[in-house]
Chains A and B, each alone.
Chain A
Amino acid sequence: MAIQFFIPHQISLEVYRGALDWLMIIAGFTMVLGIGSLIIHHTNKLKHQGEGWGYSVVTLLGLVVMAIAGVRGMGIDTPFMQIFIYAQNPIQATMFSLLAFFIASAAYRAFRARSFVATLLLLAAIIVMIGRVPIGAKIWPPIRDISNWLLDYPNMVAKRAIVLGVGLGMISTALKIILGIERSYLGGGK
């Protein structure tokens, strides 16, 4: 795939597409392994009546119900899609909405002015937050420009520095694996 980045020829493209196709096929088979693993894990929990075994019942029940519903069809008016739209989607949305409360608690901890640097962070956060909402410019017009400057310069510099480091780290990790220096992910090496 790394070589394909430099070789646009049709043959190289076909090899690349072939590799992606194989990845999809393998992923399809490993899904069987995944579901098998899920069933074994929760069946064991049920056998041992471990803490929270009731959740395992719900998981296994959900798996069976969705599998049966899926066999009957996956169109828009089918039970499969109805369960997906009216049960799974709201549950997922509920989990996602928890994020708002977690952001509030995390922000409370992060923005406590316990040191000079933490105070700077607090001030920067206040300026950026107020500068991003319409009322900010009404209160004090320059706040929008200061907010944009903070985002476009100090913030962007830090982000790009991290991204450059990540890029080098990725290449280094890829090289270690290609050259066989790092083999621990295959269970080998020291």
Chain B
Amino acid sequence: MNKKLQTRDKGCLRWWILPLAALIFLLALGGGVWAQSPGDTLPPSPPSGVTAFDTPNDAGRNITIDWQLSPDDVRGGKTVKGYDILRSESQEGEFEVVGSVVAGISTFQDDKVDNHKGYFYKVKAKDHLFSESEIVGPVETSGQWYNTNRTVVLIFVVLFTTLVIYFVSSAKKGKKLYVRPIPGMDAVDEAVGRATEMGRPILYILGLSTISDVATIASLTILGRVAKKVAEFQSKLIVPCYDPIVMTVAQEVVKNAYLDAGRPDAYDESNIWFLSQSQFAYAAGVNGIMLRERTATNFYLGMFYAESLILAETGNIAGSIQIAGTDAVVQLPFFITSCDYTLIGEEFYAASAYLSREPKLLGSIKAQDWGKLGLITLIILGGFFASLHIDAFVNLFTVGH
């Protein structure tokens, strides 16, 4: 009997589960419908103030569409889910969706257009219904020949170029220019002389960047000066390279330096070779050279990354005189700690002129000094005006894309 009762109980359970599930389903359906009321039959308000224009300062083929958000696109109110941007080549033609953005966004860039062709746009606000804005257009796009956002940079470049040309021509006319001593560069003669006395080679590292980096070019110019001194002192110069193009240029630079010094016979191309284009393989290779060859002097001039300290510390342990120079701000503390002399930032770019003592090259250093004075003045003025909440002065120097 108990068994029968248990069976009937289970039957009872099955009997009321089905109506309950149906009730829940109906409630959910009803709730969904009620949630959309009372505006469920009305579409959201359309976006207003739609404007479409050729995106400025670009290569063309890009139209920007801006609009004001639908009044229903507000937090807590009736929620617009997003906007569709529609485009047509004629006002009466068929509009196609070219992009969508989520609610709260009021701009879109259409980059799938052709230059010199008219386009019409409208924006559709959508939830489960939708409404469309008025049509705007026609809008044509074209590439610009000048980026107005970069006028400040252009003005600065023109002014600085004028300064360089002025000081270079002044120097050519014989005007004496004072350049403050750079201890790192003054030590080059001493470092090369020491290597000669000890009968050990000099190691020159051009950094881990390519020929398109200004730091590498600056390093190559210094290499020319150092190689000439090495040739005069009849010492040995080793230049393991990270980049094959840099290696080719370095070979030419050193070859010509030896020619200038009147010692073309002493030039050995095999001392300037390609080591590796893998950062830590290069570091390992250079460390091996330092320890095996027991280099008397190490030059680290160019762009460096995480390997800077690995190289400089190994050189330090090996007891070499070390002269470093880089524009990589992050690596400077490592070089300062581990090297005897470090050329900091601009000193590195001034080194070639400093070593050559050529007046026209020294003229460019003078121009740099005047450029710095101009920048310092602008920074002081900027600080002054910003303290007075006069933003117009600071905004003058805003550079866009």
A-side residues, CB < 8 A to B, are: 5-13, 23, 26-27, 30-31, 33-35, 37-38, 40-41, 44, 51-52, 55, 88, 91-92, 95-96, 98-99, 102-103, 105-107, 109-110, 159, 162-166, 168-177, 179, 181-182, 184-190
Contacts and interface: CB of A to CB of B under 8 A. Distances in A.
19 contacts: A7-B147, A10-B61, A31-B244, A37-B244, A88-B278, A91-B280, A91-B284, A92-B281, A95-B280, A106-B337, A164-B375, A165-B368, A168-B346, A168-B375, A173-B217, A174-B214, A176-B364, A177-B217, A190-B356
Contacts of A164: 372, 375
Interface residues of B, number: 87
Nearest to B401: A8
Contact of A162 (B58, B243, B329): B329
Interface in B92-142: 115
B345 A23 contact: no
B274 A181 contact: no
Contacts of B338: 106, 109
Given A9-B59, A165-B345, A182-B221, A190 B358 contact: yes
Contacts of B225: 184
B220 interface: yes
Given A26-B245, A187-B257, 7 more contacts: A10-B59, A41-B270, A91-B281, A95-B284, A106-B313, A162-B345, A169-B368
Contact of B161 (A37, A95, A98, A175): A175
A176 B168 CA distance: 10
Given A103-B309, A169-B346, A35 B352 contact: no
B221 A185 contact: yes
Contact of A7 (B146, B168, B248): B146
A58 to B, nearest CB: 11
B292 A172 contact: no
A146 to B, nearest CB: 20
Residue with the greatest number of chain B CB neighbours at <10 A, chosen from A41, A88, A95: A95
Given A7-B147, A186-B252, A38 B349 contact: no
Give the secondary structure class of A's interface: helix
B214 A173 contact: yes
Contact of A92 (B147, B280, B345, B367): B280
A162 B161 contact: no
B75 to A, nearest CB: 34
Contacts of A175: 160-161, 164, 364
A34 B244 contact: yes
A86 to B, nearest CB: 16
A5 B367 CA distance: 23
B390 interface: no
A6 B273 contact: no
Given A41-B273, A102-B313, A173-B218, A5 B164 contact: no
Given A8-B57, A105-B313, A40 B361 contact: no
Contacts of B164: 172, 175-176, 179
B86 interface: no
Contacts of B165: 179
Nearest to B274: A34
Contacts of B243: 34
B79 to A, nearest CB: 39
Contacts of B327: 166, 169-170
B43 interface: no
B296 to A, nearest CB: 16
Contacts of B249: 185
A165 B337 contact: no
Contacts of B147: 5-8
Contacts of A184: 220-221, 224-225, 253, 352, 356
B382 interface: no
Contact of A187 (B256, B281, B310, B344): B256
Given A173-B218, A184-B352, A187-B224, A163 B345 contact: yes
Contacts of B270: 40-41, 44
B350 interface: yes
A173 B346 CA distance: 10
B345 A169 contact: yes
